[in-house]
A and B are shown apart, each in its own frame.
Chain A
Amino acid sequence: MITTIVPRPAVDFPGAERSRPAGLTAEAAFIGRSITHSLRDTEALIMAVVLPTLLMLLFTSVFGGALDPSGDYVDYVVPGIILLCAGFGSSSTALYVSRDMTTGIIDRFRTMPLRASAVLTGHVVASVLRNLVATGVVIGVALLVGFRPTASAWDWLAAVALIALYILAITTLFAAIGLAASSPDAANAYGFILLFLPYLSSAFVPLETLPAWLAWFAEHQPITPVIEAIRSLLMGTPMGDAAWWAVGWCVVVVAVAAVWGTWLFRRRASRR
């Protein structure tokens, strides 16, 4: 076998060379950066705690009595509120990504010998961690207002894994939206549409109570199987094939958003 050695061009310029960061050093640096961003975004942090609390109180005390007079509505609504909060929490990813793409900081990374897309990895990983913490807050508040799950330790583990997968899916989608948007403000506006989906699912009312056309949409959109699967794991309602649909939808969304995002990231590079 013949091995061709391509010689690196000789350097006879004064100065030092940048070396390519080893292994996952770049990813680690960007994850650290995004976590710092999350911790310093006071507004978003307050939202992450206040929003679940308010929503929980709103749905259990204000709407709950009318929706389910038995007083057990909290047991029904918790999965929905978890997803709603995860959606809000992930939406800031679109803003962070768009900000990076429009301020010129991305050009600095792109002119260095590293995977510039690691910036996106940083934002996505930080969002998943941030929203898992927010999910913890939701569950904590829920327990305080009378949430009584019947789940075993394994059920809990499976539920948390599914929630993490859902957060990953919606975050990747928000990251791609951040890449597609022309400005951080536009990114915020597009993202808002996604935040509406949980309302049109089985999150707050059973599908049977919806008008036929809406019930059809709610049954076939990705949020419903995720909610039903979490509800089944935590409350022991029938699972059916919800788990498969839930995992399938999330994997498809991650894959589509990743491909779309990669394409957008490359296209933005060549467009200026």
Chain B
Amino acid sequence: MTLAIDARGIAKRFRSTEVLRDLDLAVEAGTVFGLLGPNGSGKTTTINILTTLVRPDAGTAVVAGADVRTDPDAVRARISLTGQSAAVDEVLTARENLLMLARLSGLGRREAASRCAELLERFDLADAAGRRVGTYSGGMRRRLDLALSLVVPTPVVFLDEPTTGLDARSRQELWCIIREVADAGATVFLTTQYLEEADRLADRIAVLDGGRIAAEGTPSDLKAQVGGAVVELRGADDALLAELPTDDSVHGLRAAVDALDRHPASAVPGAHVAIRRPSLDDVFLAITADPAETDGASLIGAKG
């Protein structure tokens, strides 16, 4: 197994705020890795350290075989970053943006022109290629942003909240592109607040909370951590009346259904049961819950 990203014991503080403490990350080459976390949990700082923008206070990080501290230029040669705010030049056209980036990446004129035409086509920007980026929609900007990152198909691709603020349609389009990039063999490291996004794209997910990794695994591993299927009782208007977790055994399921059978609401006309798998939202909430709140909830539960 080759690690595309191998970070150990990363710590970073900004003035009095400790953003990351003792963070470990291992990302296997050729996989898609999703870093999840609430706002302010240190996702962007993690990306900034792995992409050589910020030096860690402690720890080592090896990205695509080079150390971010001792050999940043070798790392930079093998990565691309699509940051949170679209890093595009609004005064230039899409074609000019791509040609400039190709030149800055050391491509010759001819190679740059053909690569540029290819990317404009692939990202569905060919018709707008001669227009200033300032006139683009949010989705088009994001597509161009990603196209700029792929001018050189680097082995490791970093995406910081790639679909934040986009409508559903643009999000779907970007997901397809990210999938293609991964299928072509690149290692993709993405941060997101959307659990659905991580679920759809990532082979492995880590949940960042309080500056360190709170949980890590495949999406189904993480879901399994919170428990088995959940049986729900819903009313005629589909409102949730009761839900019971199970341990995924036949016996457990039967016990849950029996319990719901005794529930007064089950006799109401139109009432129905449904079984669902725990979602990543359940995982996320369980892991990042404020301990004080959790204690409070369990106390109330014990009294009831």
Contacts and interface: CB of A to CB of B under 8 A. Distances in A.
Interface of A: 8-22, 25-26, 29, 32-33, 36-37, 40-41, 103-105, 107-114, 269-272
A11 B78 CA distance: 9
A112 B104 contact: yes
Contact of B78 (A13, A20, A32, A110): A13
Nearest to A29: B103
Interface of B: 2, 4, 14, 29-30, 44-45, 48, 51-55, 64-66, 71, 73-74, 76-81, 83-89, 91-92, 96, 100-101, 103-106, 132, 148-149, 152-156, 184-187
B65 A17 contact: no
A152 to B, nearest CB: 41
A271 B2 contact: no
A105 B89 contact: yes
Given A12-B2, A14-B155, A33-B100, A108 B78 contact: no
10 contacts: A14-B30, A21-B104, A29-B103, A32-B100, A33-B100, A36-B91, A108-B148, A111-B52, A112-B104, A271-B14
A111 B48 CA distance: 9
Contacts of B76: 18, 111-113
A68 to B, nearest CB: 43
A272 B54 contact: yes
Nearest to A10: B65
A105 B91 contact: no
Nearest to A9: B65
B53 A33 contact: no
A33 to B, nearest CB: 6
B91 A107 contact: no
A33 B92 contact: yes
A257 B12 CA distance: 31
Contacts, number: 126
A17 B30 contact: no
Contacts of A114: 104
Given A17-B152, A18-B152, A269 B92 contact: no
B86 A110 contact: no
A111 B51 contact: yes
Contacts of A26: 104
B87 A104 contact: yes
A182 B79 CA distance: 29
Given A17-B78, A105-B89, A9 B71 contact: yes
A18 B77 contact: yes
Given A10-B65, A270-B54, A272-B53, A20 B87 contact: no
Which of A25, A110, A111 has the most chain B CB within a 10 Å cutoff?
A111
Given A16-B153, A103-B85, A107-B83, A9 B53 contact: no
Contact of A13 (B4, B80, B132, B148): B4
- Report the 5 A-B pairs with minimum CB-CB distance, sorted nearest first: A13-B155, A19-B106, A15-B155, A14-B185, A104-B85
A21 B78 contact: no
Given A12-B2, A17-B154, A113-B76, 7 more contacts: A9-B66, A11-B65, A11-B78, A17-B78, A18-B77, A270-B54, A272-B48
Contacts of B156: 13, 15
Contacts of B44: 272
A13 B105 contact: no
A15 B79 CA distance: 10
Given A14-B186, A20-B106, A104-B84, A33 B154 contact: no
A111 to B, nearest CB: 4
A107 B65 contact: no
A13 B65 contact: yes
B238 to A, nearest CB: 43
Contacts of A32: 100
B77 A19 contact: yes
Which of B86, B106, B148 has the most chain A CB within a 10 Å cutoff?
B106
A214 B91 CA distance: 43
A247 B52 CA distance: 40
Given A13-B155, A17-B152, A270-B54, A111 B79 contact: yes
B19 to A, nearest CB: 10
A261 to B, nearest CB: 19
Contacts of A113: 73, 76-77
